[in-house]
Structure 1
Amino acid sequence: MTITQLQYVLAVAEHKNFTLAAEKSYVTQPTLSMQVQKLEDELDVLIFDRSKKPISITEVGKKIVAQAKNIVAEAERIKDIVDQDKGFIGGDYTLGIIPTVMPTLLPMFLGTFIKKYPKVNLIIKEQPTDTMIRNILDGHLDAGIAATPLEIEFIKERPLYYEPFVGYVPNNHRLTSETQLTTAHLDVNDILLLQDGHCFRDGVINLCKASKNMEDEPFKIESGSFETLISLSDEGMGMTLLPYLNTLHLEKSKQQFLKPFESPSPAREISLIYHKSELKIQITEAIREVISSIVRGAIAFQDVKIISPLAKK
């Protein structure tokens, strides 16, 4: 039994197809199939039922796959130990970022990180939180940046910054004359929301629930981007709420419609999340340090109240 054989088994278990598993493992299909077969012969069991399409995992195969994940992860930890002992920060590192954070945060830190850690091959993927969590569990992501708290057993959360909510209130809206907002001002029936699946949307809905101005059926105009919400708001369709970093580069003509909240301002907690096994922790810590140092200067707010992204049904 070899680590390589176990890696091939994990690839087949994930893709349910020997040809695709071979492609993802950068080997030929006959080589991968032969190694999986050798492992099955050695153990005298069938890990995969090849009579079905897509192939399925046998009952004993499920137990083997679960153990193989642990063994492969621990094998990778050996290289981690050596890298840490040498003070080496480099190699491939895959980072997921949620869509409502990616456009504002990535340009702020990426250039600085690349210059400071040129030996890290940073691979960035934009993913919703649910997908990110699955990929961290399966080992396809080394870490993610998401709104927290998530309170998931196998996930560690390291807060990076706290981003206040800011109101975008167009002319002739009922709140136009207000210089600051409170949660009591909010009515979900005239707030433009992101589409379902965005954690920022869930945070806004939770904020409206806290204001008790929440009906069973919220306002139905939804969008996948803050830019569209701002445009709809400009057309008199309602107000919207934005994360603070999204307001920094608005046109001057639109900044006049921004309204902060009274202290403590509602805010979202943005954290670096990763598996509790802490593989590649030296790179994780390097990313955390760079982001925290840069964003700390951009967000001067101190008195905030964290709104959970976990929607209470």
Structure 2
Amino acid sequence: MTLVQLQYVLAVAEYKNFTIAADKSFVTQPTLSMQIQKLEKELNIEIFDRTSHPIKITQIGAKIVAQAKTILMEANRMKHLVNEEKGLLEGDFIIGVIPTILPSLVPLFYKTFQKNNPKSNLIIKELQTDKIIKGIKDGSLDFGLVVSPLYEDQIIERPLYYEPLVAYIPPVHRLGQNKTITQEDLDTADLLILQEGHCFRNNVLALCDTSNLKQRPIKLESGSFDVLIKLANDGFGMTLLPSLVADDLPEELRNNIKNFKSPVPSREVSLIFHQSQLRDSFEKELVNTIQSILRGKIFLEKDEKLDANIISLTKK
């Protein structure tokens, strides 16, 4: 039994296809199949039911897959322990990032971090919060960038910054001539929000009076801020954005941004990791890199100008 064989097993378990698993593992399909067959012969079991499409994991195979994850996670921990002892910041660091954070934050720190740490390799995966939590707990992710707090067992949260929310309101909208807005101005009848599954949707709904949501339902939902902005420009309403997303808009669109009166609704963004992780040097380096880039642009600590009720939003 080898670690490579276990890696191949996990690849097939994930993709339910030998060809795709081989491609993702950067080996030929015959090589991957042969190694898995050797393992099955050694254990005298079948891990996969090859007669089904897509391939299914057998009952005993499911237990093998779970154990393989544990073995590989512990093997990686041994490498991390050695690197940490030597003070080395090298190897792969797999980070799950939620969709409403990735496009505005990752481009800010990615190149700087890689330049300062050339032996490290950041692998960024766009995932929903629940998938990031699962990945950290099963070892497939090293870290996550999410909106917190999460209140999850085994998960450590390191707050990075507090991001104000702003409103995107075209001039033709009923609030288009306002210089600022309040939470009381929000109406679900003309509010465009992200689809189910995005934690930012919950942030926005937490600001609204949803007691009459059935009488005045939300008309349009989308999976991206770009679409919400386009819909607002087309006269379908208004939307809310994280401030870093608003900062990236072209100048002509930034003119439609309205700030909230104090206290400003905001969201807490944190770096999360498993309580048993051994990569303290990476954690500190990433936190320092992100905060140094954002310093002066955004709140790095809680502030009286921010709405603590929104900062303390519970798990999505």
| Band the TM-score falls in, shorter-chain normalisation | 0.7 to 0.9
Question: Scaled by the length of structure 1, what TM-score is found?
Answer: 0.84
1:58 paired residue number: 58
Q: For 2:295, what is the secondary structure of its paired residue? A: helix
SS at match of 1:141: coil
Q: Do the aligned partners of 1:202 and 1:309 also contact (CA within 8 Å) in 2?
A: no
> Could you list the per-position Cα deviations for residues 269-302 of structure 1 after superposition, in whole angstroms to 9, with x for gaps in the alignment?
1122334442544323322221122223211482
Residue number in structure 1 paired with 2:242: 243
Counterpart residue identity of residue 99, structure 2: P
How far apart, CA to CA, are the structure 2 residues paired with 1:169 and 1:188? 14
Q: Deviations over 1:149-174 (max 9, x none)?
A: 33343543322111111123333544
| Mapping for residues 85-234 of structure 1, pairs under 5 Å | 85-137=85-137, 139-176=139-176, 178-209=178-209, 212=211, 214-215=213-214, 218-234=217-233
Displacement of 1:60 after TM fit?
2.3
On the 8 A contact 1:208/1:214 being kept in 2, the answer is no
2:289 aligns with: 290
Q: Is the 8 A contact 2:149 2:312 kept in 1?
A: no
The answer (yes or no) to whether the contact 2:151–2:315 under 8 Å persists in 1 is no
Q: What is the distance in 1 between the residues matched to 2:223 and 2:191?
A: 14
**Partner of 1:147: helix, strand, or coil?**
strand
- Report the AA paired with residue 230 of structure 1: I
Give me the whole-angstrom Cα distance separating, in 2, the residues matched to 1:202 and 1:176: 24
Report if aligned partners of 1:187, 1:213 keep a CA contact under 8 Å in 2. Answer: no
Cα gap change, 1:19 to 1:214, in 2 (>3 Å): closer
Q: Is the 8 A contact 2:169 2:175 kept in 1?
A: yes
What percentage of residue pairs aligned between the two structures are identical?
A: 52
CA contact (8 A) 1:128 1:198 kept: yes
Q: Closer, same or farther in 2 for the Cα pair 1:130/1:252, shift >3 Å?
A: same
In the alignment, which of 305, 308, 312 is matched to residue 313 of structure 2?
Answer: 308
- The amino acid across from 1:151 in the alignment is Y
Query: How many equivalent residue pairs?
Result: 310
CA–CA distance in structure 2, aligned partners of residues 13 and 231 of structure 1: 40
Worse-matched range after superposition: 10-19 or 77-86: 10-19
Tell me if structure 2 keeps the 8 A contact 1:186–1:213.
no
- Give the CA deviation at 1:201: 1.9
SS, match of residue 161 in structure 1: strand
- Encode CA deviations 1:243-271: one digit per residue, 9 max, x unaligned: 11123244555445433223322111112
Letter in 1 for 2:266: A
Report how far residue 70 of structure 1 moved.
1.0
The secondary structure found in structure 1 opposite 2:160 is strand
Does the 8 Å contact 2:171/2:177 carry over to 1?
no
Measured after TM superposition, the shift of residue 37 of structure 1 is 3.3
Q: Is the Cα–Cα contact under 8 Å of residues 195 and 223 in structure 2 kept in the other structure? A: yes
- Contact (CA 8 Å) 1:11, 1:25: kept in 2 or not? yes
Partner of 1:33: 33
- Displacement after TM superposition at 1:148 (Å): 2.2
Measured at CA, do residues 66 and 239 of structure 1 come closer, stay the same or move farther in structure 2, by a change above 3 Å? same
Separation of aligned partners in 2, 1:107 and 1:35: 39
Give the TM-score normalised by the residue count of structure 2.
0.83
* TM-fit CA distance, 1:309: 6.9
AA partner of residue 267 (structure 2): R
* Equivalent-residue separation in structure 2 for 1:254 and 1:35 (angstroms): 55
**1:178 CA drift (Å):** 4.6
Take 1:43 and 1:181, find their aligned partners in 2: how far apart are those partners?
66
Give the direction of change, closer, same or farther, for the CA distance of 1:233–1:51 in structure 2 (3 Å limit). Answer: closer
Residue 12 of structure 1 aligns with an amino acid whose one-letter code is V
Amino acid of the structure 1 residue aligned with 2:16: K
CA distance in 1, matches of 2:222, 2:49: 44
Structure 2 counterpart SS, 1:297 = coil
Cα distance, 1:20 vs. partner?
3.4
Question: What SS is found at the alignment partner of 1:246?
Answer: helix
Letter in 2 for 1:147: V
Corresponding residue number in structure 2 for 1:81:
81
Mapped to 2, the partners of 1:64 and 1:282 lie a distance apart of: 33
Q: 2:266 maps to which residue?
A: 267
